[in-house]
Amino acid sequence: MVDILGGRHLVTCKGATVEAEAALQNKVVALYFAAARCAPSRDFTPLLCDFYTALVAEARRPAPFEVVFVSADGSSQEMLAFMRELHGAWLALPFHDPYRHELRKRYNVTAIPKLVIVKQNGEVITNKGRKQIRERGLACFQDWVEAADIFQNFSV
């Protein structure tokens, strides 16, 4: 993730800015391409929120997992309203960052919502994160962690 979002800043639903490298290091990252006006996005977002909450926010030992919202909304106001209404405590690429469009091309996002699970270097673990969460729930996360090989970056 450092490779594809390195040097960038991400925002929280409260408007705070964080450095992508610090927030995403040694984590499985889910790039969530969605929009408020999209009914399937509005349908899946609460499920993703529950998934994230169970793994990170309410877990005794938070899982190495982070969601980065890549908005397909029409305005920054729409994006922030959607984040505040339905999202978990995850991060987003700022609306005015043109990199949103590059990520959509890189990960071949032709329809939303789409949840792409990636390794630290940006390599795709699965582009069917949404389907896997719907079908397998929390069980799919273990497969993602194993595929991500994220602990190789820890120094002893």
Give CA–CA dist 19/108, Å, rounded.
Answer: 25
Give CA–CA dist 138/12, Å, rounded.
Answer: 24
Cis amide linkage into residue 40, ω under 30° from 0: no
- pLDDT > 70? residue 56: yes
Q: What residue ranges do the domains of the chain occupy?
A: 9-146
Q: Give the tens place of pLDDT for each residue, 58-114.
A: 777 888 999 999 999 999 999 999 998 888 789 999 999 999 999 999 999 999 999
- pLDDT > 80? residue 137: yes
Give CA–CA dist 107/104, Å, rounded.
Answer: 5
Kindly indicate the confidence band of residue 18, based on its pLDDT and cuts at 50, 70 and 90: very high
Please state which CATH class domain 9-146 belongs to.
Answer: alpha beta
pTM score, whole prediction:
0.91
